[in-house]
A and B are shown apart, each in its own frame.
Chain A
Amino acid sequence: MKYTRRELLKMAGAGAGVIALGGLGVNYLVTESYAKKLKIKGAKEVISICPFCSVSCHFIAHVKGGEVVSTEGDPGYPVSEGALCAKGSTMLSMINSDHRVLKPLYRAPYSDKWEEKSYGWMIEKVARRIKDTRDKHFITKNAAGQKVNRLDAMFHAGSSQMSNEEASIVVQAQRAMGIVNIDHQARI
């Protein structure tokens, strides 16, 4: 049951002395501050960009002791002017998520589990698989006998999550391997 404001005031006025409306007024206000400590006080501000839709809203990461402690919209980006949507508002949780993959993982053929491996081990093994596959399957001519110099047996499904610089690097490497099966979210 909800009361209207007027009903409430009426009720309170008749409240068996529990609450005396006449006692309101200036005394009603409490002078001390109840604010919590501002968690971003003294933090370094670093500007990054939300990794989702192509509006590319900028956000400020508040950094203390090398850790991101808070994130909020960057008013300096004239498109978003400090605003963020539901996704953009969660940069802090996203960066600090305990669900993130933080170690290189390997799953052997027919195995039912991941194994932790060193980064160097992973790099070596992947490079070896690439080389062996390429050496075995690289073709210089297609069925029509035309020169094609390509590797049809491998592919790269890439990502618009990459920065421009990363995309440039990845494409250069894939093309050098002779890979033509290349695609990413621009096509889906």
Chain B
Amino acid sequence: MSATIDFIIDDKEIQGRPGQTILEAAQQNGIYIPRLCYREGLVPHGSCRICTVLVNGRPQSACTQPIAPGMIVENDTEKMNGLRRNIIDMLFVEGNHFCMFCEKSGNCELQALAYRLGITAPKYPYMFPKRDVDATHPDIFIDRNRCILCGRCVRASRDVDGKHIFEFVGRGPHKRVEVNAEANLADTDISMTDEAVEACPVGALLKKRVGYAVPIGQRLYDHKPIGSDIESGVAPASSR
């Protein structure tokens, strides 16, 4: 096997290494493919579908699809970005996302992606589901209103923290993240330093009492769109 794999993203010739996914190879070449459930260091999940690209005309999630010689990938096209906007809209109306009083605002990947792709308001009707908040733990809380079911906490806790505190239960529209206890987060052995807590892209899993330590206006995506670091080659390690 050759040391590099040549392929094309949006008319640009790209070189990647064998074993890389499309998303990884793109990122290494300064190309940002929008994503939500992907987080560096975690097993790709392929669930949010935002990183979907066309590979030789067929839709594939860039975070799970390995690169292959000569493949032609369509990423930053009006068609794909339109489909991504639809997915982001779906996530917004599926939960209860009120950016104006969410302490994650400015650091939220969902919000940042919406801005990057030019969404001002979702076009689908809000579902206003009834979801609960688990504030039983002294240091950490879960607000399921904001959960987008990306599974980053599930994977981080299982594979990085070695605790398996979170898991999906239920199916279809009843699917939700549950904790490994009879009832509440307080009954688990989660701690402030767990990777799981850092992994949440939205305001569903948060540390208490530090919500506004960084003021609005000085947050991650306040001045530059999400993905800018990848595009400017500043920080190939993308998401935090």
Partners in one complex: no
